[in-house]
Amino acid sequence: MKICVVNPLSSGPCLIEALQDYGAEVIVALDEQFRCVYDGDTFTFVTTDQLISQVAALNCDLVISGSEFAVTHVDTVTSALRLQGHAPDRAQVRSNKVSMLKHLRSQGVDTAPFALVNSVDQLPDYPKEAFPLFVKPINSAGSDGCFRCDDLASVQHRVDALVNQENLLGNMNSQVMVQEYIEGQQYVVNTVSLGSQHVFGDILKVNLQEVDGIPIYREITATDIHYDKGLSKDIIEYVSHCLDALGVENGAAHTEVRVSRSGVSLIEVNYRLMGPDLFIDAFSYGIGYSHASLWAESIFEPQQFLNRVGVSKEKKMHFAMVYLRGHQAGTIRNRSNLNKIRRLPAFHSLRQLPDVGDFTENPKLTTGDFGIAYIAHESKAVFEQSLRRLKNLEDDGLYLIEEPLC
């Protein structure tokens, strides 16, 4: 099978690996701006029309998204060439957070109210009881530009700083979303769909730390998945409603929700794999598969995949993906303290580590700039002890970082 993977950034290389493990012929299509990020069988494009023409000429069987940078392109290509993908009639509502939330609210899905502004002057006159509020770009990723604001002055400051600035995805923030802040525990929900049937591969509990109003992922931990009872049942029913309303029919989705006393509330749905890493050996050891390998299974072993629909699954191990943290931006001069992580009894692996000499720009993004640690163990006590020790090592400083001169 010939599969075109568009813009495989973030966890995209993990998807390519999973497809190749099944013997797929993978062709990588790169937006011209990313032409230097991948070595292999590639072609580049500038416009979506060029991408459509090249995919048609190569007679590809599937075209799939390798990152957030590919989603809109892939929707257009699959619709134009009548390839397997999501419902084309709802492509526009999947194109940005605003359209998504408006459509879901019109379909009766409970989501947090929001306002769109392109200047401080457009901000509503929020009463004191409306706070906290959450400010974020309408089309970015990795916690970029996301802030919790506890008063009007903070909202004004954040809006002013974001409007007309380029975000992490290279888009200009012509507007900014100001949304009711959703209190409660956050969860990451990773699904793969085939013929509008959804398999819930992961429901991961998020440990968030807020620094200066910015939500920072510390780690995500595996939970048991029950379709018929408990909190996971509520999450599955809510997310399934979202996926169906948005026309998610084939492929991966990465959804973020929060659970409060009033129930499950949506943060956002993303029509791609979870990033920034999906190390198949770590996820297979801790959970039984990765988000990427589950997607590959849906393509090459569809019946095996469909047998998972509606089937509850307890976690294989106590398992966590830890987003390693540095204390500041700057140049990595020493990383010898990483050896202490490798000695932890629940240690599995380290990924995406910065090299000595690398410059790290923003320690507050959820993009894995300081690396990823995977922790897994059969014993809950050993797992939790290792995780606490890892946090202490992070607090003490994993890296020697030289601050920029200016």
First-last CA distance in the chain: 51
Q: Are 113-180 and 317-406 in the same CATH fold? A: no
Please state which CATH number belongs to domain 2-85. 3.40.50.20
What backbone phi and psi angles, to 5 degrees, belong to 364?
Answer: -105, 0
Over the stretch 75-119, which tens digit does the pLDDT of each residue have? 999 999 999 999 999 999 998 888 999 999 999 998 988 888 888
Residues 6+ apart with CB under 8 A from 381: none
The CA angle 49-54-58, to the nearest 5 degrees, is: 150
Q: What percent of the chain has pLDDT over 90?
A: 71
Q: What is the pLDDT of residue 191?
A: 99
Taking Cα atoms as reference points, which of 257, 255, 251, 291 lies closest to residue 270?
255
pTM equals 0.91
CB atoms within 10 A of CB 237: 11
Q: Which residue type sits at 221?
A: T
Q: Looking at the DSSP assignment, which residues form a beta bridge with residue 136?
A: 177
Q: What percent of the chain has pLDDT over 70?
A: 96
Over the stretch 279-290, which tens digit does the pLDDT of each residue have? 999 999 999 999
What backbone phi and psi angles, to 5 degrees, belong to 144?
Answer: -60, 125
Residues 6+ apart with CB under 8 A from 21: 293, 296
Taking Cα atoms as reference points, which of 251, 246, 274 lies closest to residue 194?
251
Q: Which residue type sits at 156?
A: Q
Question: Domains of the chain: which residue ranges?
Answer: 2-85, 113-180, 182-316, 317-406
Q: What is the pLDDT of residue 36?
A: 80
Residues 6+ apart with CB under 8 A from 179: 112, 113, 114, 115, 133, 134, 135, 136
Q: Is the pLDDT of residue 215 over 70?
A: yes
Fold for the domain defined by 317-406: Aldehyde Oxidoreductase; domain 3 (3.90.1170)
Residues 6+ apart with CB under 8 A from 101: 111, 114, 266
Distance of CA 106 to the CA centre of its chain: 25
113-180: CATH class: alpha beta
Tokens of 188: 């990451």
DSSP string, 19-43: HHTTT-EEEEEEEGGGTTS--SSEE
Please state which CATH number belongs to domain 182-316. 3.30.470.20
Q: Is the pLDDT of residue 160 over 70?
A: yes
Which segments within 223-283 are labelled E, that is strand?
251-260, 263-270
